[in-house]
Structure 1
Amino acid sequence: MKAPPGRPLDGQQLADLLMRLLLDERPRQRLADEGAAAVASGTGELECLATVDLCELDSAARQFRTTVWKQGRNGGLASAFPRSLRLLASAGVRDAELLTGFLRSEEFGRFRFLPYAGRGLSEEEAFAAYLIGFVAAHPDRLTGAGVDAPVVLRETVTHELMTALFTALVCEQPLSFDIAVEGIVRTGRGHAALRRYTPRSVASWADRPAAARQDSGEPVAYAYFATPAGVRRGAVSAQVAAAFETTPSAEGDAARRALSRRGLW
């Protein structure tokens, strides 16, 4: 947002300017190399930028990146997406590159970093959307991680996001963020969702991969449950998967009753 010539920035304009400098190292570098006039979009910004201490700005930007990377629940993004980040690292994609891209992305804009800035997605959901977009845009970079790496990575990101969201549904009430992910249903005891993944993905998440592998090659029904007792997740049978059918049926009713008796629905 540009300030009218000759007028100082108001609070929102100043916040926008600071966020622009913190999120992207390119204007910071231009400020250092070419001066305030090369970055300012008006007289108000020029006056502010002329007083900036470049060393303090760089230090603040590094701290900002660290805060974003570690802000999420239970240790931050690295803890929420450990398998996804390992897969990307095996293909030569490092955390620093991902964080830089995330900060510049539209997905980051959907996450409300500042609590008073209104509602928005959780950092985990915004980051997951960015990662899935990264996979779609750069499939060639994942060849070093295996033939099925794009599929496994996309499903692993989804799985780790669902785990993070369901953990929040158990631990944070009311939620401090919105959920855009589809297919999460309310139950008598909390929430539940069903996804279908390739057998290779599910096997890679298991403590004993060989035991989880399915030879049929058919998609694996995988359920998530959030109840007062905690989060339950795992591969489920077709009988259990029937509980998530949107068309009323005797099988679906029976599945929901059975899950209710187990404290999951």
Structure 2
Amino acid sequence: MSETKDVKFNRVMLKISGEALMGDTQFGLHPPTVERIAKEVKAVHDMGVEICLVIGGGNIFRGLSGSAQGMERTTADYMGMLATVMNALAMQGALESLGVYTRVISAIPMDQVCEPYIRRRAVRHLEKKRVCIFAAGTGNPYFTTDTAAALRATEMQCEAIFMGKQVDGIYDSDPKTNPDAKRYEDISYDEVLRANLKVADASAIALCRDNKMPLIVFNLNDPGGFKGVMAGQGTYTTVHT
């Protein structure tokens, strides 16, 4: 039975990096970590929340890094998009093993393994309480999965984007190297852009700002963190217009 008590949002986007699926390994997928994140998603899904999900591909291939090593940028970006499909399928398998119906929806058609992106169909999946994992970015090179998350969240009429990081919010400098780094409780999109804080790429930030989409940054490694932040508990940073 779905829990609805203390739910602040009805439909949300969860954005995580591909590196989050590596666990302690240096490359690829770490199945226990994928399962742990799937359980975090299930805990929120069990609250009755409709969930969209975008996963990066940096644990397998990052287009920008490939370009920096001499590969043609467009080709490198398409390779990165395919990496996100692999991660999406892995997460789908983990979620469905927990009894959560899930659809992988790709911006690049590949009918044998996932659905093509059709907005109305995706909305219907959400209404049926299926988790929708949006893969292959926007389907275009030169756009990151941060921008894809902002775009799909807007199209799906999500009420907020939750960005799972390795730290518990947004800091004015890297807290891993600077013990005096200051964490923001809340901050505006304009301040994020002005201070060049590395929360997401500028196009994603601008898209969220222009559509008045709240962005909540939290630590994905905290057990129960996603569910807690969903109820307004725990430590996190809210970015607003």
Length-normalised TM-score, structure 2: 0.24
Q: Which has the higher strand share?
A: 2
Length-normalised TM-score, structure 1: 0.23
Q: Which has the higher helix share?
A: 1
Q: Which protein, 1 or 2, shows the higher relative CO under an 8 Å CA cutoff with sep ≥ 6?
A: 2
